[in-house]
A and B are shown apart, each in its own frame.
Chain A
Amino acid sequence: MTARSLATGASSGERAASPSVWSRIWQNDAPGYLFLLPWFIGFLGLTIGPILTSLYLSFTHFDLLTAPRWAGADNYVRMFTNDAKFFASMRVTVFFVIFSVPLKLAFALAVALLLNRGMRGLPLYRALFYLPSLLGASVAIAILWRQIFAGDGLVNQVLALFGIQGPSWISNPNTSLWTLIFLSIWQFGSPMIIFLAGLRQIPQDMYEAASLDGAGRWRQFWKITLPLLTPVVFFNAIIQTIEAFKSFTPAFIISGGTGNPINSTLFYTLYLYQEAFGYFRMGYASALAWVLLAIVGLFTAFSFLTSKYWVHYDD
C-alpha cells in the first residue's frame, strides 16, 4: 500500500468514525421519515394548503371562473356591517349550540348513568344507543326526520291519537329549529360512551364512603359523580360544541338547502355553503369560514381558561 493510499484510508476512517449530525440522523431515522412521507404529503396538500389558500381567498373576491381579485378586509367589513343574513345565521347557530349541546350532554349522561348500574346485556344496549350517532348526521336520517316532523308525519299521527292537531313542525319557524335540536340530541351515543367510560373510572369506595357518610343517591350524584366526571364533561362539551357549530347536513336536508322557514334553520355553515356554491362568492365564504374558526377557537380558549375553576383533575 502506498503512502498516499494509507493517508486516504486514514482520512475516510476518521470521517466514518465521526459522521456529521445530519448524516447520523438520516442513517438512523430515514426509514421512519419514509413511512411518514405519504401522510406528510397529504397533510401539506390536503390540509395545510387549503387552509392557507382559504385564508388568502378570504381577502379576495373570487367567483371560481376568474382569477381572485385582492379585496383587503372588504369581506370582513361587509360581514359585520352590511349582512343581515350573517347575523341571522349566527343567531340560529348560537341558539342551536346553546340548547342542543347541554340537552344532548344531559341526555347522554342520564343514559350512561342508567347503563352504569350493572344491567345485563349492557354491550347490546351500548351498541343500540350508539347507533344513532353513526347514522344521525347522514342524509338518510335527515330525510327520515323530515318525514317524522312533517304535517302528516309520525309525530302528528301520534298526537292525533290523543286528539291533538299538531302543526307542521318543520314548516313552522317557531318549531323548525327545535326539530333539528331534537335530531342532535338523538345522536347522544358518542358522548354517552365517553361518559360511561368516565363513570367506570370513579372508584367504588368513594360511593361507599359517601353512603357511610349518609349521602343518598342524589347527593352522591351532585357531590361525588358530577365533580369527578368534570374532566369528561369538559371534553364532551368542547367536542360537541365544535360539532354543533359545524352542523350542516340536517339543516340542509330538512330545509331543502334554503334555511327556511324565514331563515329559522339557516345554520352558519348552510349560509357559508350558499355563499360559496350558490352565489360562487368563494372569497366571502372563505372569510365566513375563518370567522367561524375564530369563534370556535375563542370558545375553546375560554373553556380552557375557565376550566381550572370547575374541572377537577385527580392528580
Chain B
Amino acid sequence: MATSVVLQKIVKAYGEVQVVHGVDLTIEPGEFTVFVGPSGCGKSTLLRMIAGLEPITGGDLIIDGQRLNDVPAAKRGIAMVFQSYALYPHMSVYQNLAFGLETAKLPKAEIAVRVQRAAEILRIEPLLQRKPKQLSGGQRQRVAIGRAIVREPKIFLFDEPLSNLDAELRVQMRVEIAKLHNDLGNTMIYVTHDQVEAMTMADKIVVLRAGVIEQAGPPLELYNNPRNIFVAGFIGSPKMNFLKANIEGSDATSTRLATSTDVFTLPRPTSGAAGSAATLGVRPEHITITPGSGLKLADVRVDLVENLGGQTLLYTTAADGQTLTIMLEGQLQVELGSTVTAHIDPARLHIFNAEGNAI
C-alpha cells in the first residue's frame, strides 16, 4: 500500500538564516516525485527533513495522515539512498544489506530471504560476499538501493544518487530506478539538479529556487506551461531562448508584440498591458528556418554549428545582439556567418511580463 506525503508550510532555518520558506506540497501515494533546482535551492534539505535527518523548524510533515515532525528517522518507514552511497566499507555487501534488519532484530532466516530477494531484483547475487571497495560505481549504487529495498519501506528517498556515475551508467541506472518504481509501486522522492533526469523519471516535478517552490506538476505541464522565466529556463535542454520585447497592444483575440528588429501579431490574447516590457520565450527545438513556417521571429547570423547526428544546433545572433539557439532535426549543412530567418509556431511562444511571470 503506497503512502502519501504532505508538506504544510514547511520551514527550515539555521539560526537566523531561513533556507526553506513555507513549502506546501502534496505527494500522492505511489507517485515518483523529483525535486529539482540549482545548488543551494533547498531540495536536499527538504528531503533530509522528510527523512528525519534534519529537524523541521516550522510547519507539518504528514505521512499517511500522521504528523511525523518529531518521530525519529528510523520509525518513519523511510529508506534513503545517499549521493555517496554511504555503504559501510568494512562490511560485505550481504552485511550492508542485512544491517538494518539485524538492528531491527529480525530472525536470521527472514533476513536471508529479504537480502536474497533484493539481490535478485538488483542482480547483485554474485557480489554478496564482496566488500564495497571491490565494486564498481554502478554496483555500489545497486547495493545502496538494495539496502533501501530490504527494509521494505513505505517511502524511498534518493539524494542525487546518480551524480557520481559516468554518463552511460547514469542513463542505465536511471532506467533501472524507473523500472524499480514500476515494479514496487512505492512512493519515491528523488533529488537531482539534472533536469533531464527529472523529465525522464518523474510523475511530478517540483522546481525549487532559494527555498521556495517555483512550480510543481507533471513534466510536460512544466515544459509546455512554465509559470515563470526561471522554470522555463530550467526545464528543457538546450535551454529556452529569451528575447526582449514590448507589448504594443492586446485585444480579445490577438497580441501585438515588437522586438527590436520586428513587429508581429500573436493570434492569442495576453494579460500584459499595452506598452509594457515583456520577454519572449522560445525553445530551440520549436524554431524553424524554413520560410513560411509560422511567425517570423528574426533574421539571425549563424555563429556556430553543432552537428549532433540526430539534430543540428545553430548558435546565432540577431541584429540587436540578442542570441538565439536553434535546434533543427536531421543533419544540416549551414554556412557559418550566413543569415537565416527564425520562425516560430505562435502556439509555442511563451510570453513573460516584467516580473518574469507567464502571461
Contact = CB atoms under 8 A, between A and B. Distances in A.
Interface string B45-80: 000000111000000000000000000111100111
Contact of A227 (B90, B100, B133): B90
A29 interface: no
Contacts of B78: 212
B133 A228 contact: no
A283 to B, nearest CB: 49
Nearest to A310: B90
Contacts of B133: 314-315
14 contacts: A205-B82, A209-B82, A209-B86, A211-B53, A211-B73, A212-B78, A212-B79, A213-B99, A213-B151, A214-B74, A214-B100, A214-B104, A215-B74, A224-B88
Contact of B103 (A203, A215, A228, A314): A215
A228 B90 contact: yes
B89 A314 contact: yes
Nearest to B151: A213
Interface of B: 51-53, 72-75, 78-80, 82-84, 86, 88-90, 99-100, 103-104, 133, 147, 151
Contacts of B100: 212-214
A214 B73 CA distance: 8
B22 to A, nearest CB: 25
Interface string A200-239: 0001011011111111000100011001101000000000
Contacts of B53: 208, 211-212
Interface of A: 203, 205-206, 208-215, 219, 223-224, 227-228, 230, 312, 314-315
A212 B144 CA distance: 13
B84 A205 contact: yes
B89 A214 contact: no
Contacts of B51: 212
B103 A208 contact: no
A230 B52 CA distance: 29
Contact of B74 (A203, A206, A212, A230): A212
Nearest to B48: A208
Nearest to B74: A214
A206 B88 contact: yes
Contacts of B90: 227-228, 230, 312
Nearest to A312: B90
A212 B99 CA distance: 11
B89 A208 contact: no
Decide if the interface of chain A is mainly helix, strand, loop or mixed.
Answer: helix
Contacts of B88: 206, 209-210, 223-224, 227
Q: Which of B74, B83, B147 has the most CB of A within 10 A?
A: B74
Contacts of A219: 103
A209 B81 CA distance: 8
Contact of B80 (A203, A209, A228, A315): A209
A208 B73 CA distance: 9
B58 to A, nearest CB: 22
Contact of A214 (B82, B84, B86, B103): B103
Contacts of A212: 51-53, 73-74, 78-80, 100
B181 to A, nearest CB: 19
Contacts of A227: 88, 90
A141 to B, nearest CB: 39
A10 to B, nearest CB: 58
A203 B51 CA distance: 18
Contact of B86 (A206, A223, A312): A206
Contacts of B82: 205, 208-209
Contacts of B72: 211
A312 B133 CA distance: 11
A56 B145 CA distance: 64
Contacts of A208: 53, 73, 80, 82, 86
Contacts of A213: 74, 99-100, 103, 147, 151
B99 A203 contact: no
Contacts of B75: 214
A205 B86 contact: yes
Give 4 closest A-B pairs by Cβ, nearest first: A213-B100, A312-B90, A214-B74, A209-B86
Nearest to A228: B90
Contacts of A211: 53, 72-74
B294 to A, nearest CB: 51
A224 B88 CA distance: 7
Contacts of A230: 90
A209 B146 CA distance: 13
Given A230-B90, A315-B133, 6 more contacts: A205-B86, A211-B72, A211-B73, A212-B80, A213-B147, A224-B88
A126 B53 CA distance: 28
A213 B146 CA distance: 13
Contacts of A223: 88, 99
Nearest to B99: A213
Nearest to A219: B103
A214 B80 CA distance: 12
Nearest to B78: A212
B140 to A, nearest CB: 12
A211 B86 CA distance: 12
A209 B147 CA distance: 10
Contacts of B74: 211-215
Contacts of B147: 209, 213
B96 to A, nearest CB: 9
B89 A210 contact: no
A212 B75 CA distance: 8
Given A211-B74, A213-B99, A228 B86 contact: no
A161 B306 CA distance: 89
Contacts of A314: 89, 133
A120 B66 CA distance: 37
* Residue of B79, B90, B147 contacting most chain A CB atoms (<10 Å): B90
A211 B82 CA distance: 13
Contacts of A203: 84, 86
